[in-house]
């Protein structure tokens, strides 16, 4: 083929510009999607950490409550024994 029959680069210039613009837009959209995905992952990690912290706090409070219940039973038994030993009469309140 001779040079006269080959398409010139200038003939394709508008198509090259359009494809370049589309590539740039697509690349920008992919970057935005990646940034959004990263932000979602970071937020998920923060929420998981908050959940884990709350779970630990809940378990601590539950154990403290169990201990207080146990202590409360001992206090009631102690006062009952003390009142019995002192021969104190307890009256029911109507």
Mean pLDDT of 11-38: 93
pTM check: above 0.75: no
Average of per-residue pLDDT across 15-40: 96
Q: Region 12-25: what's the mean pLDDT?
A: 91
Confidence class for position 69, pLDDT limits 50, 70, 90: confident
Match 């378990």 to its residue by tokens: 59
Measured CA to CA, the distance from residue 77 to residue 75 in angstroms comes to 5
């Amino acid at each position: 083929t001779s040079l006269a029959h080959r398409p010139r680069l200038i003939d394709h210039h508008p198509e090259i510009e359009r494809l370049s613009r589309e590539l740039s837009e697509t690349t920008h959209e992919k970057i935005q999607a990646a940034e959004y995905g990263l932000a979602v992952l970071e937020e998920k990690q923060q929420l998981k950490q908050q959940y884990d912290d709350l779970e630990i706090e809940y378990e601590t409070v539950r154990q403290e409550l169990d201990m207080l219940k146990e202590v409360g039973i001992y206090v009631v038994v102690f006062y009952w024994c003390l009142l019995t030993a002192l021969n104190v009469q307890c009256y029911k309140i109507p």
